[in-house]
Amino acid sequence: MAQGYKLVLRPSEPGVKDSKKLYYAVSKSTGFTDIRRLCKLIAARSTVSSADVKAVLDNLNYVLDLELQDGRIVQLGEFGNFRITVGSEGVEDKKKFSASMIRAPKIVFTPGFDLRETKKTMGYSLITPEVEKTENPGGGEDRPEIE
């Protein structure tokens, strides 16, 4: 299946007044997969129940949080790695730096080999906006006539 995209008109130089506007592609999702569906899909490919998958994923979330808070990189085998990154304001002299200058941390996911390969083989398809349906365009009843 291909990744859907739509075209949006945006300034070519954001923040520059009167910059030329160009069309850019932005991804368009086809919906969401919630944890319930994910658990069912995983359970269908294994010998464990959907509830067992959910329990493992809940515990993964808990343990992942603890390990990241300890400053560890968490490697989930071929799935990929999670790590915390931080940034800060710059100072010319080390002595003038304080921890209050550190910006909010971010959690970074680095995909494993298979997910990186997915990016290389991705296909694309333009999603056209749906035409709004008008009420009763034929002027008759909204139900089919039965003779």
For the whole prediction, is pTM greater than 0.85? no
Torsion sign, CA atoms 71, 76, 78, 81: negative
Contact criterion met (CB below 8 Å) for 80 and 95: no
- Does residue 140 carry a pLDDT above 80? no
Instruction: State the pLDDT at residue 129.
Output: 72
Reported as a single tens digit per residue, the pLDDT across 25-60 is: 998 888 889 999 999 999 999 999 999 999 999 999
DSSP for 26-78 reads: EEE------HHHHHHHHHHTSSS-HHHHHHHHHHHHHHHHHHHHTTPPEE-TT
The packing angle between helices 35-44 and 50-69, to 10°, is 120
pLDDT mean over 80-104 = 94
